[in-house]
Amino acid sequence: MRAEKMGLDPEKLRELLARQAQQQDEPAQPEAAGPGPGEPAERLDEPFHFDVKPEELENYLNQYVIRQYEAKGILATKICTHFNRLNLPDDDADDDVGSIKNNVLMIGPTGVGKTYLIKLIARELGVPFVKGDATKFSETGYVGGDVEDLVRELVREAGGDIARAQHGIIYIDEIDKIASSRNASGPDVSRSGVQRNLLKLMEETEVDLKSPHDLASQMEAMMQMQRTGKIEKQKINTRDILFIVSGAFSGLDDIVARRLNKGAIGFQLRTQPEDAEGGTKETDEKEELFRQVRAEDLMEYGFESEFVGRLPVVAVLSPLIEEDLLEILRSPKSSVVRAKKRDFRAYGIELDFEDEALQIFAARAIEEQTGARALVSVVEKALLKFEKSLPSAPVTSFTVTGDVLRDPASHLRRLLSQASFHHFIATFRDSHGTTLHFTPEAQTLVQGMADQRGTAPEQVCQELFADYGHGLKLLEQPDFTITQEIAERPQEALNSLIKDFYSKRES
């Protein structure tokens, strides 16, 4: 009855208890030198060392991420400072009590590269990294997820190395979704609870590696208790884990605008400082409002003051315009283009893109209004039929042009038709030693016959010119052109050619 109240399957519980009893009956095994299966390996004897400088990290990010110069500079500086500060000896931390980490709040619309930036940073620094979505967490952890699961996942990403995990990065997206919505019935207590749970992690706390809501972990602990008489707990300290949170923060700009307009008429836009390309421009009003966000604005938005206080660094990312999306596609490190080329290469097809095609992709993506994320969508939508049909055809290369994107159906038919003709010509040459050439009129005629039969031009050619291999050998012609007249009456044309050939030889 108790198992049912806990939400456990009684049958599974009986199986676990039976397995436990079987293990207790087995002879004791000598203790292994290392951790058992599934147990994290705590290697605290390896000192942490970090030597990356802010400008080095910023230069690395510039290779992959276009624009966002201010955000890249902020992230590179504060993240490098956080990890370099961990190199300091313990006796240098006289005022460590109450110190605040460089936890970062990123503000920007969807598809501007927030997650991509943090993944790049974690990869370059070689630190463990996990990403979570704030919308899946609940205050108790019984519904959705427990915020401490992120820390446990960080240990798994570190290969069970607790010391390494304690110098990792936890990235939480959609953090704006846990802002407390204040309505007539009062603040949203559940979302405030999630904020308080995250606050403890961002500040410093000890997290048990075995989740209290994980049945398997608790059963393992219970069996360990019965075997040894004690439960060995492994914990990870979050003091040195860097937390980075991000969100679109829809409506926050209105809060900032109201604050700025107090006691003044209208809101005067500032001019953005000179950018990395040496130019100046007036920023978008919403972006400029985000750049002037304060703690009081975030608190009015629905965040606890203590939670805001643990996010001292704010980085604002700019919305992407069409030229930005085009630059992403043109970049030699573009993951969108490289991934699509890899898809086709898996079938032995070399894919290439003309610049006009990239411009069309950028224009279509900007209409989606989801930033760089839309690039993947528009490329997949445009090339899906080619990706389905070309692997079954004798095609080894394919160039995406502007004309291909404007009329994909016609170009796919033409491409398949040409590939079919080329394959027939190559096979005929290898088998009979004669190179065939088709006039445009002959190709059109054969293609029409193939369309009527619902087959490929190669199969039509094999039927029409089945006797031409031996016939052309008799004619001793290394090259032969198929005209429309020959394609219309192939057998009559071949017989006439052979007759004329022998007539000339006899004369």
DSSP string, 459-495: HHHHHHTTTHHHHHHHHT-SEEEE-HHHHHSHHHHHH
Q: Which of left, alpha, beta for 136 (phi over 0: left; psi -120 to 50: alpha)? A: alpha
Least trusted range by pLDDT, from 8-17, 296-305, 338-347, 460-469: 8-17
Nearest-angstrom CA–CA distance, 278 and 321: 18
Higher pLDDT, 100 or 487: 487
Read off the pLDDT of each residue in 111-136 and give the average, rounded to a whole number. Answer: 90
Name residues whose C-beta falls within 8 Å of residue 38's C-beta, 6 or more positions apart in sequence: none
- Give 105's strand partners: 245, 314
In Å, how far are 358, 386, 435 from 382, measured between CA atoms? 12, 8, 36
Q: What percent of the chain is modeled with pLDDT above 70? A: 76
Higher pLDDT, 94 or 60: 60
- For residue 319, give both structure tokens: 């919305």
Sorting pLDDT into bands at 50, 70 and 90, what band is 37?
Answer: very low
Sorting pLDDT into bands at 50, 70 and 90, what band is 29?
Answer: very low
Least trusted range by pLDDT, from 86-100, 162-176, 292-306: 86-100
- For residue 433, give both structure tokens: 């030693």
Instruction: Give the pairing of strands 206-208 and 235-237.
Output: antiparallel
pLDDT tops 90 at residue 464: yes
- Give 480's strand partners: 436
Give the pLDDT score at 7: 44
What's the pLDDT tens digit per position in 242-253?
999 999 999 999
- For residue 475, give both structure tokens: 């004619």
User: Rounded to the nearest 5 degrees, what angle is found at the Cα of 179, between the Cα atoms of 148 and 248?
Assistant: 100
CB 317 within 8 A of CB 113: yes
Higher pLDDT, 13 or 472: 472
What's the pLDDT tens digit per position in 313-349?
999 999 999 999 999 999 988 889 999 999 999 999 9
Give the pLDDT score at 229: 62
Residue type, 192: S
Other CB atoms closer than 10 Å to residue 97's CB: what's the count?
Answer: 6
Token match 């398997």: residue? 216
CB 127 within 8 A of CB 6: no
Give the pLDDT score at 95: 53
Helix (H) / strand (E) element for 244: namely strand 242-247
Read off the pLDDT of each residue in 143-157 and give the average, rounded to a whole number. Answer: 80
Read off the pLDDT of each residue in 38-45 and give the average, rounded to a whole number. Answer: 41
Give the pLDDT score at 91: 56
Strand order in the sheet with 104-107: 129-133, 169-173, 242-247, 104-107, 313-316
pLDDT tops 60 at residue 293: yes
CB 157 within 8 A of CB 122: no
What totals of helices (H) and strands (E) does the chain contain, helices first?
24, 11
Read off the pLDDT of each residue in 393-406 and give the average, rounded to a whole number. Answer: 93
Nearest-angstrom CA–CA distance, 472 and 477: 6
Q: Residue 352 phi/psi, 5° resolution?
A: -140, 160
Q: Tell me the three state secondary structure of residue 89.
A: coil
Least trusted range by pLDDT, from 185-189, 384-388, 469-473: 185-189
Give the pLDDT score at 32: 34
Average pLDDT, the chain: 81
- For residue 127, give both structure tokens: 């630190």
Q: Report the predicted TM-score, pTM, of the whole model to 2 decimal places.
A: 0.72
Give the pLDDT score at 463: 92
Read off the pLDDT of each residue in 104-124 and give the average, rounded to a whole number. Answer: 91
Give the pLDDT score at 50: 81
Read off the pLDDT of each residue in 475-484 and give the average, rounded to a whole number. Answer: 90
Nearest-angstrom CA–CA distance, 362 and 216: 49
Buried b (16+ CB within 10 A) or exposed e, 435-461: ebebeeebbebbbebbeeeeebbbebb
Sorting pLDDT into bands at 50, 70 and 90, what band is 264?
Answer: very low
- For residue 177, give both structure tokens: 């979704």
pLDDT tops 90 at residue 275: no
- Give 404's strand partners: none
Higher pLDDT, 422 or 8: 422
Strand ranges, E, within 108-221: 129-133, 169-173, 206-208
Nearest-angstrom CA–CA distance, 261 and 258: 5
Give the pLDDT score at 226: 64
